[in-house]
Structure 1
Amino acid sequence: MAKLLSFHPAKILIMAKTYPTPSSKYIETCCTAGITEDGKPVRIYPVPFRQLKDDKRYKKWQWIEAPIAQSDNDSRKESHKIQFENIKLGVTLGPANQWTQRIPWITKLPRYYDLGKLSEDGKNGTCSLAYMKVESLIKLEIKKADHSKHSKEDLEKLARNSFDLFSDHGDLQEIKEILQKIPYDFYYHFTINGKDQKAKIIDWEICQLYRRCSKEHPDCWEAKIQQKYFEQFKNFDLYLIMGNQNRFRYQFMIISVCAVPRKQKSLADERQMTFDL
């Protein structure tokens, strides 16, 4: 018998959204992370984002209101399920090129300086959402993915575009375009406190940039991505929002790249936060 979840209303600022993955129940889902209005990190999963109707589709840096409950199959304290049919969209925090309103919320997350320590704390259950502020960006590595095509099992999940699946979720709609498998992986190499570090990027935005560039510029898509995520961003203050996986809690990836023009520094970021580790 399924556990009865205890939902409660919450107001959440969306800070990260990962590229969707195939799902046996919802065809495809994505993981969303953010922070509640009282400063608590929160992960929302699963969300069948592309199946949501337009009035439920939230953007990064947008406030939403919805009932959430502690996950019944994920013991990480930040992990919650959401009644996505009851999502109410709120205001977006600041224009796209203005970060002074956003940085104070990023710095409410636990701050880490070393991926090794973050991995250790993820494994022991201390932390599953955090941020790191890059000291210097060394390079963006783009490499062919180990599995560059959908598996047979994933294709079967993605092919199940039937309204019958949504009978108990009236606010979901049919997906008109099958989820594209991104055949490349993206990694940032960077330093913090003089130590070289490396992490994989799974932010929806870099995957969407690949999809657009590979279609519009098939002969130079890689240069286009390098131009933005390395050549441009190396001159920005980079705040990397990090999240781990339920199955592999020691493994943290970049779920949101926050590139802040250096002239837009916030006093909140310069303070020694009580969460610094």
Structure 2
Amino acid sequence: MDLYGNWLRLYPVSFRVLEEGKRFRRWDRVKFAWRRPSNDPRIESRHVNSQTLEIIGSVPKSERPNLLNKQIVYSLRREQEAGRSLALLKPEIIGFKIVKKSSETLAEQQRAIDLFHSQEDMFIPRPAVPVKACPFAFKYRYRTEDGVREGTCQDWETEATFFHWRNRYGEKGALERMEDQFGSRLPQRGLYFAMGTHSLYPETWLINGLVQLDPPEQGTLF
């Protein structure tokens, strides 16, 4: 988000590959050099030079509720009609399911990952995506003011959590914990979706990230 409260889509950048001192966290303030991408017409998109990233502070905890409160939306259709392609959505979560990917889908995704790692980019000194495709898709069914939707969570942190738990508890134990955490605990505590449209399919909204916010106090949102 910029100084004026507008969403920005920063890429290609990942804190997992940044040098120490450049790895920003969710509430950090950063500055960086950027340019408009030539192949992405979405107004929020910024092509970032990761090497120029600099952490210049952090948003105080007391200021965070107001910062997000202004951004929450309940309709993706209205956001799209306004020309926006990023949104912080408050959904009514109906269900969560874990779907095993077919061998064909898994192989296709692995080929895409391998292709990425075989290419070089001046803005990415080291690989910025996982080296292994996740064998499961994590899907939410949810309701907005526009109606009922279903979407796959694209957040790499969700897949990273699965791999971490699989290493510790085995696949069955990991899936049980995913169901409990992402299907029950987070929605109960207050789960928001960081939504974004697909660059090639501008009418398709994707769940790019999950944002947990504490339940409202004294009848207010925050």
Q: TM-score range by the shorter chain?
A: 0.7 to 0.9
CA contact under 8 A between 1:133 and 1:238: conserved in structure 2?
yes
CA contact under 8 A between 2:28 and 2:58: conserved in structure 1?
yes
Distance 1:185 1:92, change over 3 A: farther
Q: What does residue 23 of structure 1 align with? A: none
Q: What does residue 43 of structure 2 align with? A: 77
When you count strand as a share of all residues, which structure comes out higher? 1
2:189 is the counterpart of 1:231: no
CA contact under 8 A between 2:113 and 2:131: conserved in structure 1?
no
Tell me the percent identity: 18
The structure whose RCO (Cα within 8 Å, separation 6+) is larger is: 1
Q: What does residue 202 of structure 1 align with? A: 154
2:58 is the counterpart of 1:102: no
Aligned residues: 218
Unaligned runs of 5+ in 2: none
**How does 1:186-265 map onto structure 2 within 5 Å?**
186-192=138-144, 195-218=147-170, 219-264=172-217
**How does 1:130-149 map onto structure 2 within 5 Å?**
130-135=87-92, 137-146=93-102, 147-149=105-107
Q: What does residue 65 of structure 1 align with? A: 31
> After TM superposition, which residue ranges in structure 1, 4 or more long, deviate above 6 angstroms?
none
How does the TM-score come out when normalised to structure 2? 0.81
Q: What does residue 137 of structure 2 align with? A: 185
CA distance in 2, matches of 1:186, 1:72: 32
CA distance in 2, matches of 1:253, 1:216: 30
**How does 1:98-177 map onto structure 2 within 5 Å?**
101-109=63-71, 111-113=73-75, 115=76, 117=77, 122=80, 126-135=83-92, 137-146=93-102, 147-149=105-107, 150-152=109-111, 154-159=113-118, 165=120, 172=125, 174=126
> Shift of residue 215 of structure 1?
1.3
> Shift of residue 63 of structure 1?
1.5
When you count helix as a share of all residues, which structure comes out higher? 2
> Shift of residue 233 of structure 1?
1.7
Deviations along 1:196-234, whole A, 9 cap, x unmatched?
Answer: 332221122211111111211113211101111122123
